[in-house]
């Protein structure tokens, strides 16, 4: 059975997203996407609103940004934390019609499609109507999410792969969605398609606090929710999570995850 609930849901999710979002990285990605002054932008699945705030700054003077998320808690957090900047936030499900919002110069979807293994392509098709002719769609997601490590114990790596396989089957999560983005944009007939790959995680040596908090939270929530039985450990999940925390702290561990950005223009 596939659950229709956001995999990372937790009381701390808005904070996790706020802490892990690096403004410099978002700024670079948004400038690559073509964010420029005067644009009307939609940030779909905006989370804590930090990306929305950054997009809002980039389109000044004269631009505006709307952040949409289906979580009331995240939209409340976004309004309180980033609302004063001028960005607007609404509770919306991006699988539904968004025709009442009008049309945008740039639609930005970062780290959302990975939660929709079966519907991601339909979501992209739904978004097309939000764009003006000539408008830009920018999709950003990870590939091989949390799965590339060296220096972790073999049973720990098996556990991580076990979690992801379960999440694919039962939670509609797709850790390899990054590689699909180009085809999504190609299939909707967009022009001027461009793709960029950069490291999202590149972790070696001592851990920064924000990296430790975000990665550990991810493994904790995904590990518990996956229902994977962790046969590699006599005490199941508890043993796995304890070993993860200890091994991940080792400065010898090497971890990376590529982030893929794909943009294209709606034909005029």
Ligand X SMILES: C[S@@+](CC[C@H](N)C(=O)[O-])C[C@H]1O[C@@H](n2cnc3c(N)ncnc32)[C@H](O)[C@@H]1O
Min. distance of Cβ 118 from ligand X in angstroms? 13
Min. distance of Cβ 111 from ligand X in angstroms? 4
β-bridge partners, 259:
142, 198
Distance CA 55, CA 68 (A): 13
- 208 part of the interface to ligand X, by CB under 6 A: no
Stretch that binds ligand X, among 39-47, 54-62, 77-85, 164-172 (CB under 6 A): 39-47
Distance CA 247, CA 155 (A): 12
Q: Is the peptide bond before 234 cis (omega within 30 degrees of 0)?
A: no
- 93 part of the interface to ligand X, by CB under 6 A: yes
- The DSSP secondary-structure symbol of 177 reads G
Please, what sign has the CA dihedral across residues 103, 105, 111, 116? positive
- 45 part of the interface to ligand X, by CB under 6 A: yes
Q: Which is nearer to ligand X, 123 or 131 (CB)?
A: 123
Min. distance of Cβ 242 from ligand X in angstroms? 26
**Residues 99-138 as x/- pattern, contact with ligand X by CB under 6 A:** -----------xxx--x-----------------------
Q: Which is nearer to ligand X, 94 or 137 (CB)?
A: 94
Min. distance of Cβ 265 from ligand X in angstroms? 21
β-bridge partners, 191:
265
Min. distance of Cβ 97 from ligand X in angstroms? 12
Distance CA 132, CA 230 (A): 49
Calculate the dihedral angle through the C-alpha atoms of 118, 121, 127, 129, rounding to the nearest 10 degrees: -130
H helix or E strand, kind and range, residue 14: helix 13-20
Min. distance of Cβ 17 from ligand X in angstroms? 5
Stretch that binds ligand X, among 55-63, 68-76, 181-189, 239-247 (CB under 6 A): 68-76
Distance CA 65, CA 98 (A): 15
- 95 part of the interface to ligand X, by CB under 6 A: yes
User: What SS3 state is found at 214?
Assistant: helix
Residues that bind ligand X (CB under 6 A): 6, 17, 21, 45-47, 51, 68-71, 74, 93-95, 110-112, 115
């Amino acid at each position: 059975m596939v659950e229709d609930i956001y995999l990372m849901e937790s009381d701390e999710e808005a904070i996790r997203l706020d802490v892990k979002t690096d403004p410099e990285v978002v700024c670079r990605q948004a400038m690559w996407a073509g964010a420029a002054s005067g644009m009307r932008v939609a940030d779909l699945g905006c989370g804590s609103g930090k990306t929305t705030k950054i997009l809002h700054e980039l389109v000044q003077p004269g631009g505006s940004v709307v952040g949409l998320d289906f979580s009331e808690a995240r939209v409340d957090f976004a309004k309180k934390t980033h609302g004063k900047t001028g960005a607007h936030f609404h509770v919306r499900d991006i699988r539904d019609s968004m025709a009442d919002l009008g049309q945008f110069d740039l639609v930005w979807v970062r780290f959302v499609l990975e939660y929709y293994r079966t519907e991601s392509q339909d979501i992209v098709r739904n978004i097309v109507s939000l764009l003006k002719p000539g408008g830009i769609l920018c999709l950003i997601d990870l590939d091989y999410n949390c799965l590339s490590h060296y220096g972790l114990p073999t049973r720990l790596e098996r556990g991580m792969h076990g979690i992801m396989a379960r999440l694919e089957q039962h939670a509609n999560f797709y850790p390899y969605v990054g590689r699909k983005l180009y085809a999504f944009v190609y299939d909707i007939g967009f022009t001027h398609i461009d793709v960029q790959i950069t490291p999202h995680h590149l972790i070696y040596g001592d851990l920064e606090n924000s990296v430790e908090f975000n990665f550990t939270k991810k493994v904790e929530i995904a590990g518990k929710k996956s229902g994977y039985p962790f046969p590699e450990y006599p005490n199941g999940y508890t043993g796995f999570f304890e070993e993860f925390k200890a091994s991940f702290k080792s400065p010898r561990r090497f971890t990376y995850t590529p982030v893929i950005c794909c943009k294209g223009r709606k034909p005029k």
